[in-house]
Amino acid sequence: MAASLHTKLIELATEKIEVPLFQPLDYVSFLLGHNAGLKDFERQELLEMRTEHERLEFLIAFYRRAIPGAIRNRELKHRVRLNGHLRVIKPSTL
């Protein structure tokens, strides 16, 4: 679950669809946490956790908080691209 949420957040933040090939790792949480967009204090908190399960639960909670904001940012970028202009859809002639 953490890997799929990570992929969704990266896709929303970068507007690129990339399917990472995760290899089975004992510490996948460190790989995910590396480019998840954590703040310094969150990275430190992740590093201080003792178990992989605890780190993955932390990342899942982070993704669940971050993804709605990334969706809002993406929608805002779309509105900015319109530059105040409405797109007119012309009706087709019958």
Question: Following DSSP, what letter does each residue of 11-60 receive, concatenated?
Answer: HHHH-------PPP-TTHHHHHHHTS---HHHHHHHHH---HHHHHHHHH
* Confidence at residue 63, expressed as pLDDT on a 0 to 100 scale: 92
* Confidence at residue 58, expressed as pLDDT on a 0 to 100 scale: 95
> Tokens standing for 74?
């993406």
Q: Where are the domains of the chain?
A: 2-82
* Confidence at residue 8, expressed as pLDDT on a 0 to 100 scale: 77
* Confidence at residue 28, expressed as pLDDT on a 0 to 100 scale: 83
Summarised one tens digit per residue, pLDDT across range 14-68 is: 655 554 555 566 778 888 888 888 999 999 999 999 998 999 999 999 999 998 9
* Confidence at residue 36, expressed as pLDDT on a 0 to 100 scale: 86
Average pLDDT for 68-90: 76
